[in-house]
Amino acid sequence: MRAIVSSVLFAAALAAQPGIDLDAENRELIRRLTDWAGLTRYGSENTELPPAKNRAVLLGDDAFDVWGGGAAPYVNRGIAKQTTGQMLVRFRQDVIALKPAVVVIQGGSNDIAGFAGPATLGTLSENIETMADLARFHNIKVVLASVLPVCDCAGRELSQVRTPGRLMGINEWLEEYAKQRGLIYVNLYTPLAQGRAFRKELTADGLVPNAAGYALVKPLLDKAIAEALASR
């Protein structure tokens, strides 16, 4: 164990040296070890945000991160490869501290892919429940967004781990939980899917939408956020 820790620290020291460039996978590993929840990703941006009355924050994983500026006018706090556990750790910094009227929570796909270790529907649902509880305590309306479909259409065998059955199981739980707790659920899965797989013309990598895919689901998200604002 001591040898593993020493190797990690040595790799981190190398990464900090000028002229030393590790491959992307190793850099990502070091970033996760030094900032597991991604608290430094948006920390400085958060302090520069001006006050806003009806702010909506998007908290999620790859689907929101890759969307980038295309998610305007919302405050996008997505981080690729994140799990719901990591999102929970940064919920105060990246959501509550911004004093939004609405938060859209979207995550779970990376949990079942094992990005932060083994995970079950039970563990990821507890993380989402806790985020929803925190939001309600701070008078923030909650929109729960479904996980997205995947396909093996870009040379990546995504469906081997993110099986359609497990993805649909998450969405079924999200919809039922939203109904029980009076939250808003938005289904982004169905319009992006053909059968149970991501429609090839709506994704570039089989995991997240392309421009056409985002254009298709944004009106659904707009409607859900507008409904949440109207219920305040």
CB 185 within 8 A of CB 136: no
Please, which residues have CB within 8 angstroms of residue 142's CB and are 6 or more apart in sequence? Answer: 102, 103, 105, 131, 132, 135, 136, 183, 184, 228
pLDDT digits (tens, 9 = 90+) for 40-69: 999 899 999 999 999 999 999 999 999 998
pLDDT tens sequence for the chain (232 residues): 443 443 444 455 445 545 555 665 555 565 566 778 888 999 899 999 999 999 999 999 999 999 998 999 999 999 999 999 999 999 999 999 999 999 999 999 999 999 989 999 999 999 999 999 999 999 999 999 999 999 999 888 999 999 999 999 999 999 999 999 999 999 999 999 999 999 999 999 999 999 999 999 999 999 999 999 999 8
Please, which residues have CB within 8 angstroms of residue 86's CB and are 6 or more apart in sequence? Answer: 36, 37, 38, 79, 116
Rounded to the nearest 5°, which phi and psi values hold at 211? -60, -40
d(CA 32, CA 220): 33
Q: Which residues of 10-46 are buried (b: 16+ CB within 10 A; e: fewer)?
A: ebbeebeeeeeeeeeeeeebbebeeeebbeebbeeee
Supply the pLDDT for residue 7.
40
- Cα separation values, 10 from 13, 17, 32, 79, 194, Å: 5, 11, 15, 26, 47
Domains of the chain plus CATH, in order, are: 1-34 (no CATH), 42-230 (3.40.50.1110)
78: tokens are 């997505």
Supply the pLDDT for residue 111.
97
Overall pTM > 0.85: yes
